[in-house]
Amino acid sequence: MQEVTFYEILEVSPNASQAVIRAAYKSLIQRYHPDKNSGSLDMEQKTILIGKAFEVLSDPEARKAYDQYLEQQLSNAIGEQKPHDAAEDGAESAPVSPPTLYQPAFSTGTTPASLIAWIVGGIAAALFFLAILANSSSLQHMLTQDERPQQTMQTKPSDMDWAAAEQKRQADAEQNEAESRVARTIPELALGITVKMPPSKDGIRHCSEFTICTHYIKIPTLGVIVHKNDAERIMQHILKNRALTVDGIKTKLSQHQYTELTQVDGEATLKKIILEQINMAIVGYHNYGVRDASQRKGVEEVLLPDSFSVH
Q: How far apart are CA 226 and CA 239, in angstroms?
A: 12
pLDDT of residue 83: 55
Q: How far apart are CA 29 and CA 9, in angstroms?
A: 11
Q: How far apart are CA 238 and CA 88, in angstroms?
A: 76
Helices 112-154 + 60-92 axis angle, to 10: 160
**Please, are residues 286 and 297 in contact by the beta-carbon 8 Å criterion?**
no
Q: How many other CB atoms sit within 10 Å of the CB of residue 24? A: 20
pLDDT tens readout for residues 3-31 = 789 999 999 999 999 999 999 999 999 88
Q: How far apart are CA 186 and CA 223, in angstroms?
A: 5
**Please, are residues 8 and 25 in contact by the beta-carbon 8 Å criterion?**
no
Torsions phi, psi for 201 (to 5 deg): -65, -25
pLDDT of residue 270: 86
DSSP E strands, the chain: 185-197, 215-226, 299-303, 309-310
Residues in the chain: 311
Q: How far apart are CA 282 and CA 267, in angstroms?
A: 23
pLDDT of residue 295: 74
pLDDT of residue 282: 83
pLDDT of residue 60: 94
**Please, are residues 62 and 56 in contact by the beta-carbon 8 Å criterion?**
yes
pLDDT of residue 169: 87
Q: Which residues, in sequence order, are bridge partners of residue 225?
A: 185, 301
Relative to beta strand 215-226, strand 299-303 is antiparallel
| Closest alpha carbon to 56 in 45, 68, 64 | 64
pLDDT tens readout for residues 158-167 = 667 888 888 8
Q: How many other CB atoms sit within 10 Å of the CB of residue 268? A: 12
Query: Which residues of the chain, if any, have pLDDT below 50?
Result: 86-88, 90-111, 136, 139, 142-143, 146-155
Q: How far apart are CA 303 and CA 184, in angstroms?
A: 12
pLDDT of residue 68: 94
Domains by residue range for the chain, with CATH: 6-58 (1.10.287.110), 185-310 (3.30.479)
Q: What is the CA radius of gyration of the chain?
A: 40
- For 143-164, b/e burial (b = at least 16 CB within 10 A) is eeeeeeeeeeeeeeebeeebee
Helices 41-57 + 60-92 axis angle, to 10: 100
